[in-house]
Structures are given as structure tokens and as C-alpha cells.
Chains A and B, each alone.
Chain A
Amino acid sequence: AQSVTQPDIHITVSEGASLELRCNYSYGATPYLFWYVQSPGQGLQLLLKYFSGDTLVQGIKGFEAEFKRSQSSFNLRKPSVHWSDAAEYFCAVGSGTYKYIFGTGTRLKVLA
């Protein structure tokens, strides 16, 4: 069955520190992969996507993610976190661009 796992429910980092949010997926074919960010009471904003090609994907707000087929992972990274990055982050997998399956999210807290 198709699934997405975000093993970390909460993560706390200090401002300026590096960040890595984990995402593992289970999918039969080559997946389309996405990371979205959701601020409290808001909708989802797309940070980046992977369809094919270069496995290191650059996104908005200084985020990047790396697709590792052998590990079925698509971890999100940022070298230096800003206080405004505090939000909830969702990884999603799709068949083409249809019917996304979302992980349960990782809530990021940033310490000043």
C-alpha cells in the first residue's frame, strides 16, 4: 500500500542551526514527491517538488530536498533556520500529479 511516513512529530532547533526533516515513502512506481509548509490557520504552500531528473531539488525560502530511491526517502533540508520557518511541514507522494498521499506532518519550533 502507498504510504508516507514522517517519523518526527515535533522538532525544535535554534535559529541559525541547520535543519533536516525526514520523509520516507512506500510506493510501487517512481513517485512524484512534494514538500508543503502550513502556517497556523493557513493553507498549504508548496516548497518544492520532485518529478524526475536531478535528485537534489531546490525550493523556495532556501529549502532543498534530496530524493534517494535506495532509501525511499525525500528529506527536506535547510542550512540555517530562521524564526519565520516555524510551521508544520508535510511530505506528500503522488501518482503523477494525482491524488496525493500526505504524511502526518512535522511541527517545527524555532528557538531564538
Chain B
Amino acid sequence: NAGVMQNPRHLVRRRGQEARLRCSPMKGHSHVYWYRQLPEEGLKFMVYLQKENIIDESGMPKERFSAEFPKEGPSILRIQQVVRGDSAAYFCASQSPAGTGGGEQYFGPGTRLTVT
């Protein structure tokens, strides 16, 4: 059973460009979380999605950031018009549906975004 997959692992964007980060959850997992880790800091919750639904986006900046988890395909975190402050590691975690499995979140290897 493959783990959580994220791509690309490293992404370099110039200021003003768009960044698209992809996350494929573990097989059978229908819940996806995105976290951001700034240098020398812990992970900060951004958004929680289930298939075709955004459950909680309270940690996501109001502008330029969006996330989706379509019925088919990976979850996408999209950052428009990137700025240097967006440089960080972005982690995706997946979780089995409530009442199944151990309930914990399994993390992907992350995408390290660098904005030049």
C-alpha cells in the first residue's frame, strides 16, 4: 500500500507566478489535510478536505490560496501570484474515514516551494 504521495518534491517559482501542489492520499483514505511549515517552525493547519468538499479552510490565507479534492484525481493546493513569504514546505496528510482505521493522519514527504 503506497503512502501519501506529493509532487513535485521541489518547486521553484518567480514572484507573481502560480504554484500547484499535488497530493495523492493513501488508498482508501478520503480525508486530506494541508499544512504549511515555515523555516524553523512547526506545521500549521491550512485546510481540511473530503472528496469534493472543503470542510475547514480556517487556516488558509483568504487571498491567492485555494484547495480542491475532486472526485477523481489528487488534491490540489493552488497558490496564485506567489510572493517570497510563500516559500515553505507544504505537507499533505491523509486519513481514513471516521470510524475506520486508527484515525491518525499519515503525512506525505512534502513539497518545498521556493519563490525567487
Confirm or deny: A62 has a beta carbon within 8 angstroms of a beta carbon on chain B. Answer: no
How far, in Å, is A43 (CB) from chain B's closest CB? 4
- A41, A46, A99, A101: the one within 8 Å of B106 (CB): A46
Chain B nearest Cβ from A23, distance in angstroms: 11
B104 in complex: contacting residue of A34, A43, A99, CB < 8 Å: A34
Check B42 against A103 for contact (C-beta < 8 Å): yes
Does A104 touch B at the CB level, under 8 Å?
A: yes
- B91 touching A43 by the CB < 8 A rule? yes
Bound CA span A64–B89, Å: 28
Q: Which of A34, A45, A97 has the most CB of B within 10 A?
A: A97
Pick the contact of A101 from B41, B45, B95, B104 — CB < 8 Å? B45
Q: Which residues of A contact B109 (CB under 8 A)?
A: 42-43
Select from chain B the residue with minimum beta-carbon distance to A105: B42
Give A46 to B4 CA distance when docked, in angstroms.
13
- With contacts A42-B109, A43-B91, A97-B95 known, is A102 near B42, CB below 8 A? yes
Check if A90 is an interface residue, CB within 8 A of chain B.
Answer: yes
Please give, as numbers and ranges, the residues of chain B lying within 8 Å of A49 by CB-CB distance. Answer: 102, 104
Contact with B along A40-61 (1 / 0, CB 8 A): 0111111001010000000000
Q: How many A-B residue pairs have CB under 8 A?
A: 52
Q: Is B110 an interface residue (CB 8 A)?
A: yes
Which chain A residues border B102 with CB–CB below 8 Å? 49
Known: A43-B109, A43-B110. A96 touches B43 (CB 8 A): no
Question: Which B35-62 residues have a C-beta within 8 angstroms of A?
Answer: 35, 40-45, 48, 56
Q: Which A residue sits closest to B103, measured CB to CB?
A: A97
A83 adjacent to chain B (CB < 8 Å): no
- Chain B, residues 82-112, CB within 8 Å of chain A (1/0): the string is 0000000001000100000011111111101
Query: Which residues of B pack against A, CB within 8 Å?
Result: 4, 33, 35, 40-45, 48, 56, 91, 95, 102-110, 112
Residue pairs across A and B with Cβ atoms less than 8 A apart, 30 shown, are: A4-B42, A32-B103, A42-B109, A43-B4, A43-B91, A43-B108, A43-B109, A43-B110, A44-B43, A44-B91, A44-B107, A46-B106, A49-B102, A49-B104, A51-B103, A90-B42, A90-B43, A92-B43, A96-B103, A97-B104, A97-B105, A98-B48, A99-B48, A99-B56, A100-B33, A100-B105, A101-B45, A102-B43, A103-B42, A105-B41
